[in-house]
Amino acid sequence: MENPLLYPFDTPHQSIPFRKIKPGHFIPAIEENIKGALKAIDEVVQQAAPPNFENTIEALQNVGELLERNSSILYNLNSAETSDEIQKVTQQASPLLTQFQNDVRLNQGLFERIKTVYDKRGEENLSVEQLTLLEKEYKGFARNGALLTDHKKDLLREIDTEKAKLSLTFGENVLADTQAFALHITDEKELSGLPDQVKEMAAEMAQSKNKEGWVFTLDYPSYVPFMTYAENRELRKEMSLAFGRRGFQSNDNNNTAILLRLVELRKKRAELLGYESHAAFILEERMATSEENVKGFLEDLYQKAYPAAAIEWEAMETFAAQNLGLKQLDKWDTAFVSEKLKQAELKLDEQKLKPFFPLEKVTAGVFEIAGKLFGLRFEKNDALEGYHPEVDVYEVYHREGHFYALLYTDFFPRPGKRNGAWMTSYRGQKEGQRPHISMVCNFSKPTASTPSLLTFQEVTTLFHEFGHALHGILANTTYGGLSGTNVFWDFVELPSQIMENWCYEKEALELFAKHYKTDEVIPMEYIDKIKKVAHFQQGLQTLRQLGFAFLDMSYHGKEATEIKDIKTHESAILDRVQFLKDNPESCSSTAFSHIFQGGYSAGYYSYKWAEVLDADAFELFLEKGIFDPQTSKSFEDNILSKGGTEHPMVLYKRFRGKAPDPKALLKRAGLVK
């Protein structure tokens, strides 16, 4: 059969014909794509004309389109719909793609042309976007070994190949351990405290595995409600320990050696390029600029959050002792006790909110909000293929009715799909090409008797990922390399985190928070309580995020390679941000996919950094009105559509009229008056 990956797709909007693509198509196509891309690069290098922006920098932007498309399809499937076959193919593709990237970045003739254009940039009449692209290309080569000796270039190639394969294996191991565990319950008494919908989901899971009773897994829609509501403490302990052991057991999925090797390789690579640490290398191209700035930022937040967290923890301990008979809190108690305390203090049982958040209505609501803010319209098109029957595909239209993007939505957990939530892209935007964007989440599935009803946290997750999707959908730049989420990593979370704010506003909630049976709009008293939930235990929540950020920086800072034992190291780092007794069987680091499989190495701090930006930016919406057309048009024009065409602080100030004020975050969290 002909390989569909060898040609542009002859489909509406060049959408992906997933049903025609087989795992066996990828490697032959990628090998062919690489040959074609290297030939095109050779033509750029060998041309007789002296180097200029158009014949060198612009020409490079159009090289390897099919390769980029096909590798995106493969890696996205490996995250959202993998199989043994897809995993094997991805492991085969990884060294090929790494070698190709190095063949390009270490091509001396190509770099010399780019350097000539860069050195003479003042002689051409370049736009701000062209200057930004030129600088990005030059730095991309310089920061990836173009200035190294041949011997050091060879070393870099070896490091990059090994690093890429280890990251993939790290993720595969976490997924394997996640799927290997199931808690099988046959006695209904052991389900005490669990909401009916959670029990129904577990019964359907058991049925799918040909078992009697109920099955709970480590997938978030199963794990989180179990830890929050199950009254059986021993079973909570069993689940918690299984979750904490992922990548940390005596089996083939153990990630400890892989993690230490990744840390070593990242440091070695940075030093080869003249940086003292991986963090120094990464942060040079971030708003934060340096390891010292990040540590100062995190430490400042820690000093503000710790006193509040200590008071909140004491309140939890007192409540647990007086009302739940728990004299000492362990990790498997915190979500359970926190929920009971929240119910007692705020008189809010979050299960009572769920009927007002059916997934279908929340999705329609976020689309309507995007329509009010940015003039977008979403039309589901069943004729366009998804990669799984649960995936919906929408055509997105902009203000004057122009087609603007495709959006894939994939909302439920299943085997072969990693935990968590993310936005990704199958095709980027550039002049003459609109993007194909995907939103992937793991929400509670519908059951035989109820639709998918979201917790409030799942609602905010959907809005968060949709904010990332908007960054891709509304991208409107000339060059793909600067489009959409191709921005500084500590700026990329602003569009996602600012969207969460609409979940707390009455005017927005009334559009979509409607009871799935009666269509009753969520009562005002619940909206008031939702706002109070936003402040509930913010000290402890902040410390938890800071813990991950401190851990990330420790693995990528100057002393990273001095770490000999992961568990000992992790315990020492997290000791100051948690009040629990450490459990020797659990380890967060060995399942910390954000930094060891995803792109957040030396970048986890950016969640808190972007919260400062989003709290400050949303103050303008609150001041002018949350659907104010002028403010939303300015946000679209200066942030969402611009991608990385200018420095993020320039774009931010153009929208906000000033630099961000860190106090906005602390005020919103209730940590300062």
Q: Is the pLDDT of residue 266 over 90?
A: yes
Map residue 670 onto helix, strand or coil.
coil
Instruction: State the DSSP string of 125-194.
Output: ---HHHHHHHHHHHHHHHTTTTTS-HHHHHHHHHHHHHHHHHHHHHHHHHHHHHHH--EEE--GGGGTT-
Interior/surface letters 96-135, b for 16+ CB within 10 angstroms, e for the rest: bbbebebebbbbeebbebbbebbeebeeeebeebbbbbbe
Query: How far apart are the C-alpha atoms of 598 and 511, rounded to whole Å?
Result: 34
Of 3.40.50.10780, 3.40.630.30, 1.20.1050.40, 1.10.10.60, the CATH number of 4-147 is 1.20.1050.40
Q: Are 202 and 131 in contact (CB under 8 A)?
A: no
Q: How many CB atoms lie within 10 A of CB 315?
A: 13
Let me know if 271 is a catalytic residue.
no
- Report pLDDT digits (tens) over 138-156: 999 999 899 999 999 999 9
- Report pLDDT digits (tens) over 480-515: 999 999 999 889 999 999 999 999 999 999 999 999
Query: How far apart are the C-alpha atoms of 669 and 534, rounded to whole Å?
Result: 7
Q: How many CB atoms lie within 10 A of CB 511?
A: 18
Query: How far apart are the C-alpha atoms of 552 and 560, rounded to whole Å?
Result: 10
Q: Is the pLDDT of residue 1 over 70?
A: no
User: Which percentage of the chain shows pLDDT scores above 70?
Assistant: 100
The answer to which of 307-311, 349-353, 470-474, 551-555 has the lowest mean pLDDT is: 349-353
CA gyration radius, the chain: 25
- Report pLDDT digits (tens) over 185-241: 999 999 999 999 999 999 999 999 999 999 999 999 999 999 999 999 999 999 999
Mean pLDDT of the chain: 95
Q: Is the pLDDT of residue 391 over 90?
A: yes
Q: Is the pLDDT of residue 667 over 90?
A: no
Map residue 404 onto helix, strand or coil.
strand
Short-list 8, 13, 9, 11, CA closest to 395: 13
Query: How far apart are the C-alpha atoms of 657 and 529, rounded to whole Å?
Result: 33
Q: Is the pLDDT of residue 434 over 70?
A: yes
- Report pLDDT digits (tens) over 190-206: 999 999 999 999 999 99
Catalytic residue among 465, 493, 500, 570: 465
Mean of the pLDDT values across residues 41-54? 97
Query: How far apart are the C-alpha atoms of 585 and 130, rounded to whole Å?
Result: 53
Domain ranges of the chain: 4-147, 181-244, 355-534
Mean of the pLDDT values across residues 161-181? 96
Instruction: Look at domain 355-534 and name its CATH class.
Output: mainly alpha
**439 - beta bridge partners?**
409, 423
Threshold 0.75, pTM exceeds: yes
